[in-house]
Structure 1
Amino acid sequence: MKTSKIPILKLYNNLLISIQWELDDKTAMQFQEDLLKKIHETGATGVVIDLTSVDVIDSFIAKILGDCVNMSKLMGATVVLTGIQPAVAITLIELGIELEDIHTALDLEKGLELLKELED
Protein backbone atom coordinates (compact mmCIF):
# COMPACT_ATOMS: atom_id res chain seq x y z
CA MET A 1 0.00 0.00 0.00
CA LYS A 2 1.37 3.39 -0.96
CA THR A 3 1.25 6.22 1.50
CA SER A 4 1.56 9.91 0.91
CA LYS A 5 4.75 11.80 1.64
CA ILE A 6 2.48 14.32 3.34
CA PRO A 7 1.82 13.53 7.01
CA ILE A 8 -1.79 13.64 8.17
CA LEU A 9 -2.00 14.14 11.93
CA LYS A 10 -5.07 13.57 14.09
CA LEU A 11 -5.84 16.04 16.88
CA TYR A 12 -9.09 15.32 18.72
CA ASN A 13 -11.71 15.08 15.99
CA ASN A 14 -9.63 16.95 13.42
CA LEU A 15 -6.99 16.11 10.86
CA LEU A 16 -4.07 18.48 10.43
CA ILE A 17 -2.09 18.60 7.22
CA SER A 18 0.83 20.93 6.59
CA ILE A 19 2.06 20.76 3.02
CA GLN A 20 5.73 21.65 3.23
CA TRP A 21 6.78 21.62 -0.43
CA GLU A 22 5.46 22.12 -3.95
CA LEU A 23 3.28 19.20 -4.96
CA ASP A 24 3.82 17.07 -8.04
CA ASP A 25 0.86 15.32 -9.68
CA LYS A 26 1.60 11.87 -8.25
CA THR A 27 2.03 13.14 -4.68
CA ALA A 28 -1.15 15.21 -4.93
CA MET A 29 -3.21 12.25 -6.11
CA GLN A 30 -1.79 10.03 -3.35
CA PHE A 31 -2.51 12.77 -0.79
CA GLN A 32 -6.13 12.96 -1.93
CA GLU A 33 -6.55 9.20 -1.53
CA ASP A 34 -4.81 9.18 1.87
CA LEU A 35 -6.88 12.10 3.17
CA LEU A 36 -10.19 10.48 2.26
CA LYS A 37 -9.07 7.16 3.74
CA LYS A 38 -8.01 8.90 6.98
CA ILE A 39 -11.35 10.74 7.27
CA HIS A 40 -13.13 7.40 6.84
CA GLU A 41 -10.90 5.57 9.35
CA THR A 42 -10.96 8.23 12.07
CA GLY A 43 -14.43 9.74 11.62
CA ALA A 44 -12.81 13.17 11.65
CA THR A 45 -15.26 16.05 11.39
CA GLY A 46 -12.69 18.74 10.68
CA VAL A 47 -9.69 19.07 8.37
CA VAL A 48 -7.13 21.86 8.31
CA ILE A 49 -4.91 21.97 5.22
CA ASP A 50 -2.05 24.41 5.73
CA LEU A 51 -0.60 25.76 2.49
CA THR A 52 1.84 28.27 4.00
CA SER A 53 4.87 26.69 2.30
CA VAL A 54 3.21 26.40 -1.12
CA ASP A 55 4.15 29.37 -3.31
CA VAL A 56 2.69 28.26 -6.64
CA ILE A 57 0.32 25.62 -7.93
CA ASP A 58 -0.56 24.49 -11.43
CA SER A 59 -4.02 23.73 -12.78
CA PHE A 60 -3.89 20.00 -11.97
CA ILE A 61 -2.82 20.57 -8.34
CA ALA A 62 -5.47 23.29 -7.99
CA LYS A 63 -8.12 20.85 -9.24
CA ILE A 64 -6.94 18.13 -6.84
CA LEU A 65 -7.05 20.61 -3.95
CA GLY A 66 -10.59 21.65 -4.87
CA ASP A 67 -11.59 18.00 -5.18
CA CYS A 68 -10.10 17.24 -1.73
CA VAL A 69 -12.23 19.97 -0.19
CA ASN A 70 -15.43 18.84 -1.91
CA MET A 71 -14.84 15.13 -1.29
CA SER A 72 -14.09 15.77 2.39
CA LYS A 73 -17.36 17.68 2.69
CA LEU A 74 -19.21 14.75 1.14
CA MET A 75 -17.72 12.56 3.87
CA GLY A 76 -18.95 14.93 6.60
CA ALA A 77 -15.75 16.83 7.34
CA THR A 78 -15.49 20.61 7.39
CA VAL A 79 -12.32 21.82 5.66
CA VAL A 80 -10.37 24.96 6.48
CA LEU A 81 -7.55 26.04 4.17
CA THR A 82 -4.87 28.09 5.90
CA GLY A 83 -1.82 30.06 4.84
CA ILE A 84 -2.87 30.62 1.22
CA GLN A 85 -0.18 32.64 -0.54
CA PRO A 86 -1.27 35.46 -2.90
CA ALA A 87 -0.09 33.62 -6.04
CA VAL A 88 -2.01 30.50 -5.02
CA ALA A 89 -5.20 32.50 -4.40
CA ILE A 90 -4.85 34.16 -7.81
CA THR A 91 -4.30 30.80 -9.52
CA LEU A 92 -7.32 29.18 -7.85
CA ILE A 93 -9.62 32.01 -8.94
CA GLU A 94 -8.17 32.37 -12.44
CA LEU A 95 -8.58 28.63 -13.04
CA GLY A 96 -12.18 28.76 -11.86
CA ILE A 97 -11.65 26.13 -9.15
CA GLU A 98 -14.98 25.77 -7.33
CA LEU A 99 -14.44 26.15 -3.60
CA GLU A 100 -18.00 26.93 -2.61
CA ASP A 101 -18.51 27.86 1.03
CA ILE A 102 -14.84 27.20 1.72
CA HIS A 103 -13.49 28.29 5.06
CA THR A 104 -10.08 29.94 5.17
CA ALA A 105 -7.80 31.31 7.85
CA LEU A 106 -4.46 33.08 7.88
CA ASP A 107 -2.56 30.36 9.73
CA LEU A 108 -2.87 26.92 11.32
CA GLU A 109 -3.75 28.27 14.77
CA LYS A 110 -6.55 30.45 13.41
CA GLY A 111 -7.74 27.52 11.29
CA LEU A 112 -8.12 25.33 14.37
CA GLU A 113 -9.95 28.14 16.18
CA LEU A 114 -12.32 28.48 13.21
CA LEU A 115 -13.05 24.73 13.18
CA LYS A 116 -13.87 24.90 16.89
CA GLU A 117 -16.25 27.84 16.29
CA LEU A 118 -17.95 26.00 13.45
CA GLU A 119 -18.52 22.95 15.66
CA ASP A 120 -20.23 24.98 18.40
Structure 2
Amino acid sequence: MEIPILKLKNILLTSIQSDMNDDDALKYQSDVMSTLEKSGAKGLVIDITAMDIIDSFMARVINETARMARLMGARVVLCGMQPMVALTLVEMGRELIGVDTALNLDKGFDKLVKMFNEGVD
Protein backbone atom coordinates (compact mmCIF):
# COMPACT_ATOMS: atom_id res chain seq x y z
CA MET A 1 0.00 0.00 0.00
CA GLU A 2 1.43 3.36 -1.04
CA ILE A 3 0.67 6.28 1.26
CA PRO A 4 1.04 9.66 -0.43
CA ILE A 5 3.49 12.16 1.00
CA LEU A 6 2.82 15.70 -0.19
CA LYS A 7 5.06 18.73 0.22
CA LEU A 8 3.59 22.19 0.80
CA LYS A 9 6.28 24.82 1.19
CA ASN A 10 8.60 23.34 3.83
CA ILE A 11 6.08 20.90 5.34
CA LEU A 12 5.40 17.28 4.41
CA LEU A 13 1.79 16.14 4.72
CA THR A 14 0.94 12.48 5.00
CA SER A 15 -2.40 10.90 5.70
CA ILE A 16 -2.81 7.27 6.69
CA GLN A 17 -6.16 6.39 5.13
CA SER A 18 -6.52 2.76 6.21
CA ASP A 19 -5.20 0.21 8.63
CA MET A 20 -1.75 -1.05 7.69
CA ASN A 21 -0.02 -4.35 8.19
CA ASP A 22 3.49 -4.42 9.67
CA ASP A 23 5.25 -4.41 6.29
CA ASP A 24 3.17 -1.44 5.10
CA ALA A 25 3.99 0.45 8.30
CA LEU A 26 7.73 -0.08 7.86
CA LYS A 27 7.58 0.94 4.19
CA TYR A 28 5.64 4.06 5.19
CA GLN A 29 8.31 4.91 7.76
CA SER A 30 11.08 4.42 5.21
CA ASP A 31 9.24 6.50 2.58
CA VAL A 32 8.69 9.37 5.03
CA MET A 33 12.35 9.42 6.07
CA SER A 34 13.55 9.27 2.46
CA THR A 35 11.19 12.07 1.38
CA LEU A 36 12.20 14.17 4.37
CA GLU A 37 15.88 13.81 3.46
CA LYS A 38 15.35 14.57 -0.23
CA SER A 39 12.99 17.49 0.29
CA GLY A 40 14.72 19.21 3.19
CA ALA A 41 11.32 19.85 4.75
CA LYS A 42 11.31 21.33 8.24
CA GLY A 43 7.90 20.00 9.27
CA LEU A 44 5.91 16.79 9.10
CA VAL A 45 2.19 16.36 9.63
CA ILE A 46 1.02 12.79 10.18
CA ASP A 47 -2.74 12.55 9.82
CA ILE A 48 -4.27 9.40 11.34
CA THR A 49 -7.93 10.41 11.05
CA ALA A 50 -8.87 7.20 9.24
CA MET A 51 -7.29 4.91 11.84
CA ASP A 52 -10.01 3.42 14.02
CA ILE A 53 -7.69 1.08 15.89
CA ILE A 54 -4.00 0.97 16.67
CA ASP A 55 -1.85 -1.87 17.90
CA SER A 56 1.42 -1.64 19.79
CA PHE A 57 3.53 -2.13 16.65
CA MET A 58 1.79 0.68 14.74
CA ALA A 59 2.03 2.94 17.79
CA ARG A 60 5.76 2.21 17.95
CA VAL A 61 6.21 2.90 14.21
CA ILE A 62 4.43 6.25 14.45
CA ASN A 63 6.43 7.22 17.53
CA GLU A 64 9.73 6.15 15.96
CA THR A 65 8.91 7.92 12.70
CA ALA A 66 8.25 11.12 14.60
CA ARG A 67 11.45 10.73 16.63
CA MET A 68 13.53 10.05 13.50
CA ALA A 69 12.04 13.09 11.77
CA ARG A 70 12.84 15.16 14.85
CA LEU A 71 16.46 13.93 14.74
CA MET A 72 16.57 15.02 11.10
CA GLY A 73 15.56 18.53 12.15
CA ALA A 74 11.84 18.46 11.41
CA ARG A 75 8.99 19.44 13.73
CA VAL A 76 6.23 16.83 13.86
CA VAL A 77 2.50 17.19 14.46
CA LEU A 78 0.26 14.14 14.75
CA CYS A 79 -3.35 14.96 13.99
CA GLY A 80 -6.77 13.41 13.65
CA MET A 81 -6.48 10.94 16.49
CA GLN A 82 -9.78 9.21 17.18
CA PRO A 83 -10.84 8.96 20.86
CA MET A 84 -10.50 5.17 20.90
CA VAL A 85 -6.99 5.39 19.47
CA ALA A 86 -6.03 7.89 22.19
CA LEU A 87 -7.54 5.60 24.83
CA THR A 88 -5.65 2.61 23.45
CA LEU A 89 -2.34 4.50 23.47
CA VAL A 90 -2.87 5.52 27.08
CA GLU A 91 -3.85 1.99 28.10
CA MET A 92 -0.74 0.61 26.38
CA GLY A 93 1.42 3.18 28.17
CA ARG A 94 2.62 4.64 24.85
CA GLU A 95 3.77 8.23 24.97
CA LEU A 96 4.35 10.28 21.86
CA ILE A 97 7.62 11.92 22.82
CA GLY A 98 8.60 15.08 20.94
CA VAL A 99 5.36 15.08 18.97
CA ASP A 100 2.85 17.87 19.03
CA THR A 101 -0.77 16.96 18.41
CA ALA A 102 -3.70 18.68 16.75
CA LEU A 103 -7.37 17.89 16.33
CA ASN A 104 -7.32 17.71 12.52
CA LEU A 105 -5.13 18.20 9.47
CA ASP A 106 -6.01 21.87 9.07
CA LYS A 107 -5.08 22.66 12.67
CA GLY A 108 -1.94 20.52 12.45
CA PHE A 109 -0.68 22.41 9.43
CA ASP A 110 -1.52 25.74 11.06
CA LYS A 111 0.31 24.68 14.22
CA LEU A 112 3.52 24.00 12.28
CA VAL A 113 3.27 27.27 10.35
CA LYS A 114 2.81 29.12 13.64
CA MET A 115 5.84 27.36 15.16
CA PHE A 116 7.97 28.35 12.18
CA ASN A 117 6.75 31.95 12.29
CA GLU A 118 7.53 32.18 16.01
CA GLY A 119 10.91 30.50 15.59
CA VAL A 120 10.07 27.61 17.92
CA ASP A 121 12.56 24.74 17.69
- Considering only aligned residues, what root-mean-square deviation do their CA atoms show, in Å? 1.1
Between the two proteins, the alignment pairs up a number of residues equal to 117
* Counterpart in the other structure of 1:18: 15
Q: Render the CA deviation track for 1:80-100: whole Å, top value 9, x for unaligned.
A: 011000111122222222312
Q: Distance in 2 between matches of 1:58 and 1:101?
A: 20
Q: How does 1:1-120 map to 2 (within 5 A)?
A: 5-120=2-117
Q: Structure 2 counterpart of 1:53, which letter?
A: A
Query: What SS does the aligned partner of 1:94 have?
Result: helix
Runs of 4 or more above 4 Å deviation = none
Deviation, 1:44, is 0.5
Same amino acid, percent of matched pairs: 47
Unmatched runs of 5 consecutive residues or more in structure 2: none
Deviation (angstroms), 1:118: 0.7
**In structure 1, C-alpha distance between the alignment counterparts of 2:8 and 2:107, rounded to whole Å:** 15
Alignment-mate amino acid for residue 97 of structure 1: R
Partner secondary structure for residue 14 of structure 2: strand
User: Which segment is superposed worse, 73-82 or 92-101?
Assistant: 92-101
Aligned AA for 1:74? L
CA distance in 2, matches of 1:69, 1:91: 19
SS at 1:117 equivalent: helix
